[in-house]
Amino acid sequence: MPPFFFYLMTLATFAVIYGVLVIGLNIHWGYTGILDFMYIAFVAVGGYVTALLGLPPAQPAFGETYVLGFNWSFFPALLVGGLAAALLALVTGLLSFRRLRSDYFSIVTVAISLILWTVAGNATPLVNGWDGITGVPQPLADVLNLDFNGYGLFYLGLCSVILLLVYLFAERLYASPFGRVLRCVREDETVAQGLGKNVFTLRLRAFVIGAFIAGIGGGLLVTYVDAFNPSAWATPETFIIWAALLLGGGANNRGAMLGAVLVPVLFTEATRFLPNFYSPEFVNASRYIVVGILLILTVRFSPQGLIAERRLRISQRKLLPAAISMRGPERVAPDLTGPDAVSSLLSPERTSVEDTEAHSGK
Partner 1 sequence: MQHAVTTTTSLPSTYLLEVQHLVKAFGGLRAVDDCSLTVARGSIVGLIGPNGAGKSTVANLITGFLRADAGRVLFNGADIARLPIHRIAQRGLTRTFQITRELERMTVTENLLAAPHHQLGESFWLGLLSTPAVRRQEEENLQRALRLLRDFDLYDLHDEYAANLSGGQRRLLELARVVMTQPTLLLLDEPFAGINPVLCARLGEAIEALSRAQGITFLIIEHNLAMVERLCSSVIVMALGRVIAEGSMTELRENPAVVDAYLGEG
Chain residues in the site for partner 1 (CB under 8 A): 169, 172-173, 176-181, 183-184, 186-188, 190-199, 205, 209, 251, 309, 311-314, 318-320, 323, 325-327, 342-345, 350, 352-354, 356-358, 360, 362
Rounded Cα gap, residues 156 and 95, in angstroms? 38
Question: Closer to partner 1 at the Cβ: 131 or 340?
Answer: 340
Distance of alpha carbon 298 from alpha carbon 305, whole angstroms: 6
Q: What's the closest the beta carbon of residue 244 comes to partner 1, in angstroms? A: 20
List the Cα angle 36/42/44 in 5-degree steps.
135
Q: How far is the CB of 336 from partner 1 (least distance, A)?
A: 13
Q: For residue 277, how many other CB atoms are within 10 A of its CB?
A: 8
Report, in Å, the least distance between residue 264 CB and partner 1.
Answer: 26
N-to-C CA span, the chain = 70
- Of residues 59 and 352, the one with the C-beta less far from partner 1: 352
Q: How far is the CB of 240 from partner 1 (least distance, A)?
A: 25
In the complex with partner 1, which residue's Cβ is closer, 229 or 343?
343
- d(CA 117, CA 40) in angstroms, rounded, equals 10
H-type alpha helices, 188-316: 189-194, 199-225, 237-248, 253-260, 268-271, 280-301
CB 126 within 8 A of CB 120: yes
Taking the least distance from each CB to partner 1, the nearer of 143 and 320 is 320
Query: Exposure pattern of 320-350 as b/e (b: 16+ CB <10 Å)?
Result: eeeeeeeeeeeeeebeeeeeebbbeeeeeee
Nearer to partner 1, 188 or 226 (CB): 188
Rounded least distance, CB 203 to partner 1, Å = 13
Looking at beta carbons only, is 223 or 252 nearer to partner 1?
252
Minimum CB distance to partner 1, residue 49 (Å): 23
Q: What is the identity of the amino acid at 37?
A: F
